[in-house]
Structure 1
Amino acid sequence: KVHAFQCACPSGFEGSSCEINIDDCALAGPNACESYERCLDGVNNFTCACPIGYGGDRCSVEINECDANPCKNGANCTDGPGNYTCTCHLTVIDITSLIGPKGKFYSGYGGQNCDEDINECEVYTDPPICQSNGLCVNHDGGFQCFCPSSVGGSSFSFGALCESSIEYCDRREHQCRNGATCLNTLVGSECKCAPGYKGELCQIDIDECL
């Protein structure tokens, strides 16, 4: 007597003994994964191995990397296929009219994600970002120039980069009183008093009766 049997295969299998896993990728066709990557067969289903920057069941969804806010310190994020680009907000300081083509400096943050402080004091040394031998002090996101009190003996520097200078007398001419004349000196300035007056600013009227 011949005994026969037939297997009722679960979904995803075929063959006389249900030993064959059906290739679901082949059933789905060549565009199973939107042609982005190869199809990975499973049991009664398939998955797509998506390339970087794409997701979804069939890799048809482009991931917006900017949604994760990778760009810091107010930088602009531009999404691309599988990547992103940060455009850093930099402060441009231009004194080319004073010192020539090397007089353009950039201050703020750099790096791929605009999260790296630019040390302007170290980056800009030729010429130095602080003019007139000013002292450069870096801080997070910027810097500060401390200007020397004297440039060449008879003038002082000022401005954000110590890029300007002025004679001491031009600054304090109005302080010399009673017709006095301001004279530049090696250490600053002094007032030359008119007859009958004395004091640092010639502010004292000499009493000739004494």
Structure 2
Amino acid sequence: PGFGGSVCEVDLDECASNPCANGGSCIDRANGFKCHCPKGFYGNRCLSDVDECASNPCLNGGTCDDEVNRYVCHCLKGFSGARCDVEVNECDSNPCQNSGQCLDLKSGFQCVCQKGFSGILCQSNDNDCQSDPCLNGGACVDLVGRYHCRCAPGFFGHNCERDVDECASNPCANGGSCIDRAN
């Protein structure tokens, strides 16, 4: 092998058949050849792809996809960068609404809502009238973080809890007696 001719006087070019794969360069030698493989490949004929993921280059739980002469990391939520080594601050985009305070967590964020708001992003105005705080027939008006009671005639107070004393002004003339009734 490696020579031809009637008396083996001709050195055969084993590289003539392009035995090196994936762009490898062939060097003809006596009795054979040697392939110089491009980066990312190895083996006698450069047929084997180097597994760039073998060294576990992706950090923080990222998964690795081996490609030719490189790898690609797919990062978990909260991380970015070629190796998932950059912690993302989700609060940079100001996700919390209605003046909610954003807390950056390891894999996400949490909104701390102002009084009167709820929801993951503090997007919902709480119904402060839900507990029926207005008494004695008062009508509740929901406001942001509070409520207002419109009291029925004869009542007053924050929750319409106080009865108006209609006799306080002495409305009865000529010695009449005033009797305050509940409204």
Q: TM-score range by the shorter chain?
A: 0.5 to 0.7
- How far apart are residue 133 of structure 1 and its match? 1.3
Q: CA RMSD in A?
A: 3.6
Distance in 1, Cα, partners of 2:80 & 2:22: 37
Pair 1:192 & 2:179 matched: no
- How far apart are residue 167 of structure 1 and its match? 3.0
- How far apart are residue 162 of structure 1 and its match? 0.8
What is the aligned partner in structure 2 of residue 136 from structure 1?
102
Distance in 2, Cα, partners of 1:57 & 1:72: 33
Pair 1:166 & 2:126 matched: yes
Q: Percent identity among equivalent residues?
A: 34
Report if the CA contact (8 A) 2:64-2:74 is conserved: yes
Distance in 1, Cα, partners of 2:99 & 2:24: 60
SS of aligned partner of 2:121: coil
When residues 187 and 37 of structure 1 are mapped into structure 2, their CA distance, relative to the original with a 3 A threshold, is: closer
Distance in 2, Cα, partners of 1:191 & 1:184: 13
What is the aligned partner in structure 1 of residue 47 from structure 2?
60
Pair 1:37 & 2:24 matched: yes
Larger radius of gyration between Structure 1 and Structure 2: 2
Report if the CA contact (8 A) 1:183-1:192 is conserved: no
Q: Output aligned runs, 1:1-210, within 5 Å.
A: 27-30=13-16, 31-34=18-21, 36-39=23-26, 47-90=34-77, 108-122=78-92, 124=93, 128-149=94-115, 156-170=116-130, 173=131, 176=133, 188-189=146-147, 191-193=159-161
SS of aligned partner of 1:145: strand
Structure 1: stretches of 5+ with no match in the other structure:
1-23, 91-107, 150-155, 196-210
Give 1 or 2: higher helix fraction.
1
When residues 145 and 42 of structure 1 are mapped into structure 2, their CA distance, relative to the original with a 3 A threshold, is: farther
Distance in 1, Cα, partners of 2:76 & 2:13: 52
Distance in 1, Cα, partners of 2:59 & 2:144: 49
Distance in 2, Cα, partners of 1:134 & 1:41: 72
Q: Give aligned pairs, total.
A: 141
- How far apart are residue 27 of structure 1 and its match? 5.0
When residues 39 and 184 of structure 1 are mapped into structure 2, their CA distance, relative to the original with a 3 A threshold, is: same
What is the aligned partner in structure 2 of residue 101 from structure 1?
none
Report if the CA contact (8 A) 1:121-1:138 is conserved: yes
Distance in 2, Cα, partners of 1:144 & 1:76: 25
Structure 1: 4+ residue segments shifted above 6 A: 41-46, 177-180
Question: TM-score by structure 1 length?
Answer: 0.51
- How far apart are residue 54 of structure 1 and its match? 0.9
When residues 177 and 165 of structure 1 are mapped into structure 2, their CA distance, relative to the original with a 3 A threshold, is: closer
Question: What do the CA deviations read for 1:44-97 (whole angstroms, capped 9, x no partner)?
Answer: 98654322221123321012223333333444432222222233344xxxxxxx
